[in-house]
Chains A and B, each alone.
Chain A
Amino acid sequence: MLVWSRSGRLLIWVLFALIFGVLFLAPLAVILLSSLADQWNGVLPNGFTTEHYTDVARGAAWNAVKASLVTGFLASALALVSGTWAALSLRLQGHALKRLLGLLFFIPSAVPSVSVGLGLLVAFSHPPLLLNGTIAIVMIAHFVLISAFTFGNVSAGLARLSPDFEQVASSLGARPAYRLWHVTLPLLAPYLVAAFGLSFALSMGELGATVMVYPPGWLTLPVSIFSLTDRGDIFAGAALTMILVASTLVLLLGLERITARATGS
């Protein structure tokens, strides 16, 4: 305890509540409030309604949720396979190559998402690799952007893994493939689930690259929210944002419970 006097502690906690309230609590609360607001002319809404939710449910919401979930699931699954594969096979490399490749796998997270989208447009707008205007280019953009996070999470998990289990397994005569499938991957499982959850959440909120490459008819939640607010329909935008936040949190909590049950804690 750094501050011993009761009044001093109270003062510091008031300061904390102020910063936390203004920066973090107020934005979340006000999005929720505005998604339910009937009319808003004064300090507080004049009344409450669920009209914005029924509006977006009739309009863009269902397709946007579907586009976001499908994109997020496929891109995260591909990123999980490729990130785990990369992290595992990187262990077989020499020291110098390991460092260089490790760095290269991280670089997609450092490049602005808009540029990733621009690159895909430039590269895949001509035959034989004509992907511009397809759903696949959206998935690829999301995969590229989240691949570094999956790779990083799995690598961090591998680094924390005790080598004893694998050494015991191989000294007992387990072949590499058997050892990978029955020892290494089960030990890695919590990190794999966490990596999948984080990349799914990142994909759900991705805007910069998606807005560059999305084809007509495949509007993800962030793109739909932007087109609503850009038209001035900010209450419907707030309702759709709440749907995005709720589906992201449900997803993360669900994955957390799966991990907790699997590890028995």
Chain B
Amino acid sequence: MSEALAIAAPTAGKREPGRLWIVPPAALLALLFFYPLALIVRQAFLDDGGAANAAEIIRVLHSRFFLNALVNTVTISVAATAGCLIVGLVLALILAFVPFPGSGFIARLIDTFIALPTFLVTLAFTFLYGSAGMLNSGLMEVFSLPLPPVDFLYSTWGVVLAEVTVYTPFILRPLLAAFSLVDRGQIEAASVLGARPFRIVRQVILPAAVPALIAGGSLCLLLTVNEFGIVLFIGAKGVITLPLLIYGKAIQESAYQVACIIATINIALSLGLFGLYRFAAGRLGA
């Protein structure tokens, strides 16, 4: 539209009417998203009378429940992202460079996990690793144990394992795209010249994967910080993250101001990670 208008009316500096088309979708998003977001921040800093109250903020920031949730959120997010990077890299290397019959189908199957609800995995883990699950029943039967021996599901590690399953596809997708651009001739030449597979991976393949790893990793950090369903479904008393704390304060305790204070911090953390992701993805595209 802009080219056509530029030819028809070469009046430089005059505003094109086409520019105003952006207003309806922008206004819709402003009303339904940015306005509520601003109100969360407002309610975090002001009490019901409209006066600023720093005391409540300081009380929340020093409270045990908030610090616990913050530490849990960061620990789970970092551990799950590290797990996703390792698992994603191993799977992508095999799918791209040691393919087997049907590997394309398997790659697509893993990709559909992106479209499935995250809590599905937690529910499945209850049947697999729960106290009455398959693994524990099997071990108790074989070794005639009186108590279930495997007990990691209702801890931080249960959440981490579930998040690794759910978010590995987000690493796999950019990695496979990056690997498809690696020159196969270079790899064959290196191996004909006697380079061991590890050396080829380190010196030829990994450098090509670094941008995808950084972009995928920062996306995983963001998504795991925001994850809600997995933690809610595990339902362990000791594993409370920031999103779960917001839900608990707002819905179960009706403490909206506390919820808004925590939400403001959670949103700031997420937007910081979003900035990191955009920066990394921008470098990847460049």
Listed in ascending order, the chain A residues whose CB lies under 8 Å from chain B are: 1-4, 8-9, 12-13, 15-16, 19-20, 23-24, 26-28, 30-31, 33-34, 40-44, 82-83, 85-86, 88-93, 101, 103-108, 110-116, 118-124, 140, 143-144, 147, 167, 170, 176, 179, 198, 201-202, 204-208, 211-212, 222, 225-226, 229-230, 234, 237-238, 241, 244-245, 248-249, 252
Q: How far is the CA of A170 from the CA of B5 in the complex (A)?
A: 10
Q: Which residues of A contact B125 (CB under 8 A)?
A: 27
Stretch of B16-24, B63-71, B208-216 on the interface side: B16-24
Q: Give, as a whole number of angstroms, the nearest-CB distance from A118 to chain B.
A: 5
Q: In the bound complex, do residue A122 and residue B260 qualify as a contact, i.e. CB atoms below 8 Å apart?
A: yes
Residues of B within 8 A of A208 (CB): 226, 228-229, 243, 247
Other-chain residue from A101, A107, A222 in contact with B119 (beta carbon distance below 8 A): A222
With a CB–CB cut-off of 8 A, which chain B residues contact A212? 247, 250-251
Q: Give the docked Cα–Cα distance between A176 and B8 (Å).
A: 12
Cα A195 to Cα B246 in complex, Å, equals 30
Name the contact of B123 in the complex, choosing from A42, A179, A241 (C-beta under 8 A): A241
Q: Would you call B242 and A112 a contact (CB within 8 A)?
A: yes
B110 partner residues in chain A, CB cutoff 8 A: 20, 24
Q: Which 5 A-B pairs have the closest CB atoms?
A: A119-B36, A205-B117, A27-B124, A110-B274, A89-B21
The answer to whether B128 and A114 have CB atoms under 8 Å apart is: no
Q: Give Cα A212 to B244, complex, Å.
A: 11
Instruction: Check A2 against B247 for contact (C-beta < 8 Å).
Output: no
Q: Are A115 and B24 in contact (CB under 8 A)?
A: no
Residue of B nearest to A204 (CB): B117
Question: How many angstroms between the C-alpha atoms of A222 and B118 in the bound complex?
Answer: 10
A-B contact pairs, 20 of them (CB 8 A): A13-B98, A15-B90, A24-B110, A27-B125, A34-B127, A82-B29, A86-B22, A103-B278, A113-B243, A114-B228, A114-B247, A118-B263, A122-B260, A140-B32, A198-B115, A201-B115, A207-B229, A211-B247, A244-B120, A252-B112
Q: Taking CB as reference atom, which chain B residue is nearest A184?
A: B1
Given A20-B106, A86-B25, decide whether A248 and B116 contact each other with a Cβ distance below 8 A: yes
Residues of B close to A225: CB separation below 8 A:
119, 123
Residue of A104, A211, A241 touching B251 (CB-CB under 8 A): A211
A238 touches B123 (CB 8 A): yes
B286 CB to closest chain A CB, in angstroms?
14
B117 partner residues in chain A, CB cutoff 8 A? 204-207, 222, 241, 244
Bound Cα distance from A66 to B174, whole angstroms: 35
What is the number of contacts between chain A and chain B, taking CB atoms within 8 Å?
256
Q: Is the CB of A167 within 8 A of B127?
A: no
Considering only residues 29-60 of chain B, those with a C-beta below 8 Å from chain A are 29, 32-37, 39-40, 43
B177 within 8 A of A: no
Q: Is the Cβ of A115 less than 8 Å from the Cβ of B100?
A: no
Q: Given the complex of chains A and B, what is the CA–CA distance between A101 and B22 in angstroms? A: 9
Known A-B contacts: A2-B187, A26-B124, A105-B29. Give 4 more (CB < 8 A). Answer: A28-B120, A92-B21, A114-B246, A230-B235
- Complex-state Cα separation, A85 to B124, whole angstroms: 40
Q: Is B28 on the interface with A (CB-CB < 8 A)?
A: yes
Contact of B256 among A110, A112, A122 (CB under 8 A): A122
> Across the interface, which residues of B come within 8 angstroms of A89, CB to CB?
18, 21-22, 25
For B106, list chain A residues within 8 Å (CB).
20
Q: How far is the CB of A76 from chain B (nearest CB, A)?
A: 13
Contacts of A86 in B (CB 8 A): 22, 25-26, 29
Q: Is the CB of A112 within 8 A of B197?
A: no
Q: State whether A115 and B115 are in contact (beta carbons under 8 Å apart), knowing that A1-B98, A4-B191 are contacts in the complex.
A: no
Contact with A along B215-246 (1 / 0, CB 8 A): 00000001001101100110100000011101
B11 contacts the other chain (CB 8 A): no
A31 contacts B246, CB within 8 Å? no
- In the complex, what residues of A have CB within 8 A of residue B242's CB? 112
B243 to chain A minimum Cβ distance, whole angstroms, is 4
Complex CA distance for A198 and B116, rounded to whole angstroms? 10
Interchain CA distance A104-B29 in the complex, whole Å = 9
Residue ID in chain B nearest A82 by CB atoms = B25
Q: Is the CB of B233 within 8 A of A13?
A: no
Question: With the chains together, A91 CA to B123 CA distance in Å?
Answer: 44
B168 within 8 A of A: yes
Complex alpha-carbon distance, A207 and B251, angstroms:
14
